[in-house]
Amino acid sequence: MAKGAKPRVKVPKTAAAGEVVTLKTLISHKMESGQRKDKEGNLIPRSIINRFTCELNGKMVIDVTLEPAISTNPYVEFDAKVDEAGEFKFTWYDDDGDVYETTKPIAIA
Amino acid sequence: MKKGIAALVAASTIFGAAAATADESAELTINGEIDIVTKTAAPAHLSDALDEVLSGWRFRSDQTQEMQMDDFDNPGMLGVEEGIEIWNTVDGSKGKSCADCHGEPEEMAGVKAVYPKWNDQAETVHTLQMAVNNCRENAMGAEPWKYDATAAINVEALLASVSRGMPVNVAIDGPVEAMWEMGKELYYTRTGQLEMSCANCHEDNYGNMIRADHLSQGQINGFPTYRLKNAKLNGVHSRFKGCVRDTRAHTYNPGSEEFIALELYVASRGNGLSVEGPSVRN
């Protein structure tokens, strides 16, 4: 696991059926671009989150390709239409092969 | 075609103006529950120089302002989370954590608001970081942190976060008076090849542009500050260093007596504003 990678998400607890809700996600990650050099002039190897996905009950809500120019601690905010109660699953894919996952339930009010 | 270009130029000019001029009348509430005073009457010692004191938050663009209005959107809160971990972690020869003596971080509410302040035992002015190090060395038997080290800033951010909304109330008389006078002297002394004092920008020209940046009053009620330019929490002394460097002067070091005095003086200029840290600035 890349040092200090920790996902955070903010999902409303409830939604009306068919409501469009806003989801906020952030993962703490250094997002090393692979362009920088250290004090000795050696290239610091790239280490970024390269993909982020969100699913609701197994159905893809958003699938994002992240590139090296994205800043440290990438924050992604997006909307999702909620037709039925269930569980959001958020997944981040690290360059080093690690996968970070977190889930949040949502109920229909 | 020509008309199209003219319209485009006009549009970009308007956009440029809007981006440069912050909404100085906006009010700050964090998480919809903590009301922050970002504008108030200047403290008595400052009444000759300023009518009112303004938090740096008022000088930032709408987008930057909004980042501070919700803890989830505030990247500085990542530092606070790390601060909580440090708070609960045992360190040093005496096998104690911060929490063992102090309990929950929330019990430290109000502490950040009165620092820097006089320490009777050490007979000197302590900044909050020095007070934490004092605890680490004497109560925990742990290594003190380097000034403005990441861990020190994270704990300072945690202590600031639990005091948010409380008025800054730094004492300027009694035993601290000599240090306060020293800080005031530094504030008004021109330094560097550019021969600029703190006051030249932050008292005489706040609200104006300095190249692409909107000059604030240089208040430190929002420290530690998450700066978008370096994507991390910044300490007051490191920020002072950046400013002094920009006057093309040799700077004092973080943790030096000069910067402690300056922190005391500048903090007192914000007496009455709310503690706001960790704030978001550019």
pLDDT at A6: 87
**Residue B23: pLDDT band by 50, 70, 90 thresholds?**
low
Q: Are A82 and A18 in contact (CB under 8 A)?
A: yes
DSSP B82: H
Residues of A in Cβ contact (< 8 Å) with B32: none
Taking the C-alpha atoms of residue A84 and residue A88, their distance in angstroms, rounded to an integer, is 11
**Residue A34: pLDDT band by 50, 70, 90 thresholds?**
very high
Q: Which of A54-58, B26-30, B169-173 has the lowest mean pLDDT?
A: B26-30
CA atoms within 13 A on the CB side of B216: 24
Mean predicted lDDT score pLDDT of chain A = 92
Q: Are B275 and B35 in contact (CB under 8 A)?
A: no
Taking the C-alpha atoms of residue B202 and residue A22, their distance in angstroms, rounded to an integer, is 39
Phi first, then psi, for residue B214 (nearest 5°) are -95, 115
A82-98 pLDDT, tens digit per residue, is 999 999 999 999 999 99
**Residues B78, A73: C-beta atoms closer than 8 Å:** yes
Mean pLDDT of all residues in B228-233: 92
The distance of Cα B24 from the centroid of its chain, to the nearest Å, equals 19
Residue of B71, B72, B230 to mutate for A, most A C-beta atoms under 10 A: B72
Taking the C-alpha atoms of residue B143 and residue B92, their distance in angstroms, rounded to an integer, is 7
Asked if residue A2 has pLDDT above 70, the reply is no
Q: Which positions 10-39 of A are in contact with B (Cβ < 8 Å)?
A: 10, 24, 26, 28
Mean pLDDT of all residues in A60-80: 94
**Residues A73, B72: C-beta atoms closer than 8 Å:** no
- Run of H or E including B88: none
Q: How many CB atoms lie within 10 A of CB B209?
A: 11
Q: Is the dihedral of CA B239, B242, B247, B252 positive or negative?
A: positive
Partnered with residue A78 across adjacent β-strands are A23
**Residues A24, B72: C-beta atoms closer than 8 Å:** yes
Catalytic residues of B: 243
Q: Are B103 and B162 in contact (CB under 8 A)?
A: no
Taking the C-alpha atoms of residue A51 and residue A98, their distance in angstroms, rounded to an integer, is 11
Q: Where are the beta strands (DSSP E) in chain B?
A: 28-30, 34-36, 39-41, 52-54, 117-119, 124-126, 209-210, 213-214, 225-227, 232-234, 279-281
Partnered with residue B52 across adjacent β-strands are B41
B104-146 pLDDT, tens digit per residue, is 999 999 999 999 999 999 999 999 999 999 999 999 999 999 9
**Residue B25: pLDDT band by 50, 70, 90 thresholds?**
confident
Q: Which is higher by pLDDT, B11 or B64?
A: B64
Phi first, then psi, for residue A71 (nearest 5°) are -65, 170
Burial of B228 (0-12, 13-18, 19+ CB in 10 A): middle
**Residue B24: pLDDT band by 50, 70, 90 thresholds?**
low
Whole-prediction pTM? 0.87
Which amino acid type is present at position A76?
V
Q: Is the dihedral of CA A21, A88, A61, A7 positive or negative?
A: positive
Taking the C-alpha atoms of residue B66 and residue B78, their distance in angstroms, rounded to an integer, is 17
Q: How many CB atoms lie within 10 A of CB A60?
A: 9
Residues of A in Cβ contact (< 8 Å) with B75: 26, 73, 75
